[in-house]
A and B are shown apart, each in its own frame.
Chain A
Amino acid sequence: MQNWPLFEIFLRSKNGLSHKHVGSLHAADADMAITNARDVYTRRKEGVSIWVVESKHITASNPEESESMFDPAEDKVYRHPTFYVLPDELEQM
């Protein structure tokens, strides 16, 4: 158990939506991670599909660099598509 790798769990809550990160858990391998995720994260019908990724395969941005990474986007509202009228049929934007 102490030696079990950590897995990040992603759930698709319904068809058409994308997978979202919901948490992480320990498992001996990817198959067990799927089973564990099913039991831990989908008990209340939260998902229709599960992805698991071993945490070590995720490369994260460095929090110390967040100023240079993210702040420049702060004053660029024109990058949001809010100046368009969206058709009603487009639900998931």
Chain B
Amino acid sequence: MGEIISLKRESLLKYVLQLADNALILGQRLAELCGHGPILEQDIAITNISLDLIGEARILYQYAAEIEGNGKTEDDYPYKRDVRDWQNILLVELPNGHFGYTIMRQFMFDCYHYYHLKAMTNSGDERLAQIAAKTIKEATYHLKYSSEWVIRLGDGTQESHDKMQEALNDRIRFFDEAFIPSKIENDKSLNGVAVDCTKIKASAWAKFTEVCQTANLEIPEVKFPQKGGKDGVHTEHFGFILAELQFVQKSYPDSNW
């Protein structure tokens, strides 16, 4: 019995980290735009979203530290794990590119994130349900924000339309990974706790398609969705994110001020 409980704890820990990693890596990517946004108002808007996501990651890492015990803290996960330990989807680690790429990546993530949180408010794990209820307010705004920009640019000038279409064509193959369950999401011990991501796919895709249609964007067919992030197999960009994120910790381990 003790072993079953500890197995379940291990699965829950892994699952919570997967959720946190998505939020943290996208937050980190968006933070790169701080001071570099296309205009002042969007600079602030994007860093707001970045902070929302980092905030969400923090509460999840804090929860992970509680589950794991052993004196772990929320900082151990972002600063002391190497590439293969991270379980975020590939989409969130892709570079910002031009504003069209940033917005398209955000929009895809928001379509997933919003419906995922909505389902998570019914999680059998009370803590996860509470976290979802708190963060879905932010995610609702993110989805509104990115949808509006996709429509505005997609249905804007010829140049803005072409750039959005370019971003969509290049990024669409990274969208479906969010809805392909990883081993941990399929773990029987997390039944009723983990969100069944196959079940939110239809709603997320419906929103995605509706906005793309309004934006006059054509959704290309994807033969081979890119995946691997959830299992720790990342793109070549990921090491560079960690290099920047973990630089201080690596140069001055456990320093305080």
Residues of A within 8 A of B (CB): 1, 25-28, 31-32, 35-36, 38-40, 43
Looking at the assembled complex, report how far the CB atom of B34 sits from the nearest CB atom of chain A, in whole angstroms.
13
Looking at the assembled complex, report how far the CB atom of A3 sits from the nearest CB atom of chain B, in whole angstroms.
11
Report yes or no: A26 in contact with B39, Cβ–Cβ below 8 A: yes
Report yes or no: A36 in contact with B41, Cβ–Cβ below 8 A: yes
Label chain B's interface by main secondary structure. helix
Report yes or no: A39 in contact with B148, Cβ–Cβ below 8 A: no
Looking at the assembled complex, report how far the CB atom of A52 sits from the nearest CB atom of chain B, in whole angstroms.
12
Report yes or no: B148 in contact with A32, Cβ–Cβ below 8 A: yes
Looking at the assembled complex, report how far the CB atom of A43 sits from the nearest CB atom of chain B, in whole angstroms.
6
**B156-172 with Cβ < 8 A to chain A:** none
A sample of 16 inter-chain contacts (CB < 8 A) reads: A1-B38, A1-B39, A25-B40, A27-B41, A32-B148, A32-B152, A35-B45, A35-B144, A35-B145, A35-B148, A36-B42, A39-B44, A40-B41, A40-B44, A43-B44, A43-B48
- CA–CA, A38 to B144, complex, Å? 13
Q: Hey, which chain B residues are within 8 Å of A36, CB to CB?
A: 41-42, 45
Report yes or no: B41 in contact with A26, Cβ–Cβ below 8 A: yes
Looking at the assembled complex, report how far the CB atom of A92 sits from the nearest CB atom of chain B, in whole angstroms.
29
Looking at the assembled complex, report how far the CB atom of A34 sits from the nearest CB atom of chain B, in whole angstroms.
10
- CA–CA, A75 to B243, complex, Å? 69
- CA–CA, A26 to B42, complex, Å? 11
- CA–CA, A74 to B144, complex, Å? 49
Report yes or no: B152 in contact with A28, Cβ–Cβ below 8 A: yes
Number of A-B contacts (CB under 8 A): 28
Number of interface residues of B (CB under 8 A): 13
Report yes or no: A39 in contact with B48, Cβ–Cβ below 8 A: yes
Q: Hey, which chain B residues are within 8 Å of A28, CB to CB?
A: 152
**B15-34 with Cβ < 8 A to chain A:** none
- CA–CA, A25 to B38, complex, Å? 14
Looking at the assembled complex, report how far the CB atom of A35 sits from the nearest CB atom of chain B, in whole angstroms.
6
Q: Hey, which chain A residues are within 8 Å of B42, CB to CB?
A: 36
**B34-56 with Cβ < 8 A to chain A:** 38-42, 44-45, 48
Report yes or no: A31 in contact with B148, Cβ–Cβ below 8 A: yes
Central interface residue in B39, B40, B41, B141, by most chain A CB within 10 Å:
B41
Looking at the assembled complex, report how far the CB atom of A4 sits from the nearest CB atom of chain B, in whole angstroms.
9
Report yes or no: A25 in contact with B48, Cβ–Cβ below 8 A: no
Report yes or no: A39 in contact with B45, Cβ–Cβ below 8 A: yes
Given known contacts A26-B41, A32-B152, A39-B44, what 12 new A-B pairs fall within 8 Å (CB)? A1-B38, A1-B39, A26-B39, A28-B152, A35-B45, A35-B144, A35-B148, A39-B41, A39-B45, A39-B48, A40-B40, A40-B44
- CA–CA, A39 to B46, complex, Å? 9
Q: Hey, which chain B residues are within 8 Å of A35, CB to CB?
A: 45, 144-145, 148
- CA–CA, A28 to B45, complex, Å? 15
List of 9 A-B pairs having minimum Cβ-Cβ separation, nearest first: A36-B41, A39-B45, A39-B44, A39-B48, A40-B44, A1-B39, A40-B41, A25-B41, A43-B48
For B145, give the chain A residue with the smallest CB separation.
A35
